């Protein structure tokens, strides 16, 4: 499948679910103490590295971007789906959100102090991940922290509906943390910490803390 084709499917799918996704996830962090702790630590790491703009790549409706802003980070969001970006701008008019793809990240070299990708890489096929991490490293300042969250597992599945029964057509790739860590190291990151969420669930989550190695 060509990149244009799977990117178009992701864009259309998230345009379709944008409003209901926002309704379901708006207060989602209230139920996620470990994710809130990870985000607080990430905001501290950005501050300790000198502070500056923080990109939330695959930001969806912007609730995590807004949470980072509340933690004192100069956060902005980027998402492939114009529908998601419309919702994010409506819900958080004081923040900056732009349409864009992590596969062709339109950020100048060394322009961000921190970069976060929460459950957005899950839709990117394996063969496109190294180039995405290359963009992340290029856009980050040397020493800047990266936070990546994803579903843990070995399988990929086609998601055909979601967020209230709306039609979708996206692949969801579950991955082992050591596999994602290896991709990060190959791209020039140092992996500093790993948080495994809900290890007893059918689909655990993982958050990796990495840093642009200078």
Ligand X SMILES: C[S@@+](CC[C@H](N)C(=O)[O-])C[C@H]1O[C@@H](n2cnc3c(N)ncnc32)[C@H](O)[C@@H]1O
The answer to whether 145 contacts ligand X (rule: CB under 6 A) is no
Count of residues engaged in binding ligand X, rule: CB under 6 A: 21
Q: Which of 49, 81, 97, 207 binds ligand X (CB under 6 A)?
A: 81
Q: Which of 67, 123, 211, 212 binds ligand X (CB under 6 A)?
A: 123
The answer to whether 60 contacts ligand X (rule: CB under 6 A) is yes
Q: Distance (Å, rounded) from C-alpha 198 to C-alpha 61?
A: 24
Q: Which of 43, 71, 84, 95 binds ligand X (CB under 6 A)?
A: 84
Q: Distance (Å, rounded) from C-alpha 88 to C-alpha 15?
A: 12
Q: Which of 54, 102, 113, 187 binds ligand X (CB under 6 A)?
A: 102
Specify which residues 140 forms β-bridges with: 112
Encode burial over 29-38: b for 16+ CB neighbours within 10 A, e otherwise. Answer: eeeeeebeeb
Cβ 46 to ligand X shortest distance, Å: 17
The answer to whether 120 contacts ligand X (rule: CB under 6 A) is yes
The answer to whether 10 contacts ligand X (rule: CB under 6 A) is yes
Cβ 116 to ligand X shortest distance, Å: 8
Q: Which of 101, 133, 136, 146 binds ligand X (CB under 6 A)?
A: 101
**With CB under 6 A as the contact rule, which of the stretches 66-74, 78-86, 182-190, 205-213 interacts with ligand X?**
78-86
- Report which of 119, 106, 129, 113 is spatially closest to residue 152, judged by C-alpha positions: 119
Positive or negative, the CA dihedral 198, 113, 50, 97 is: negative
149-208 positions binding ligand X, by CB under 6 A:
none
The answer to whether 118 contacts ligand X (rule: CB under 6 A) is yes
Cβ 57 to ligand X shortest distance, Å: 6
The answer to whether 64 contacts ligand X (rule: CB under 6 A) is yes
**With CB under 6 A as the contact rule, which of the stretches 41-49, 96-104, 137-145, 202-210 interacts with ligand X?**
96-104
- Judged by the rule CB under 6 A, the positions of this chain that interact with ligand X are 7, 10, 14, 25, 57-60, 64, 79-81, 84, 101-103, 118-120, 123-124
């Amino acid at each position: 499948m060509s990149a244009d084709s799977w990117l178009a499917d992701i864009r259309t799918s998230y345009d379709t679910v944008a409003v209901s996704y926002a309704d379901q996830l708006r207060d989602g962090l209230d139920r996620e103490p470990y994710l809130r702790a990870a985000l607080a630590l990430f905001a501290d790491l950005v501050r300790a590295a000198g502070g500056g703009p923080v990109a939330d790549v695959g930001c969806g409706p912007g609730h995590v971007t807004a949470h980072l802003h509340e933690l004192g980070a100069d956060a902005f969001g980027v998402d492939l789906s114009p529908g998601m970006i419309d919702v994010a701008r409506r819900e958080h008019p004081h923040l900056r959100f732009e349409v864009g793809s992590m596969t062709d990240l339109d950020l100048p070299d060394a322009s961000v102090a921190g970069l976060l990708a929460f459950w957005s890489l899950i839709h990117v096929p394996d063969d496109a991940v190294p180039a995405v991490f290359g963009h992340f490293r290029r856009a980050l300042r040397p020493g800047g922290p990266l936070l990546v969250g994803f579903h843990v597992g070995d399988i990929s599945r086609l998601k055909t509906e979601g967020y209230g029964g709306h039609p979708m057509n996206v692949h969801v790739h579950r991955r082992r943390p050591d596999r994602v860590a290896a991709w990060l190291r190959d791209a020039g990151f140092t992996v500093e910490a790993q948080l495994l969420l809900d290890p007893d669930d059918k689909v655990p989550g993982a958050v990796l803390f990495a840093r642009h190695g200078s």
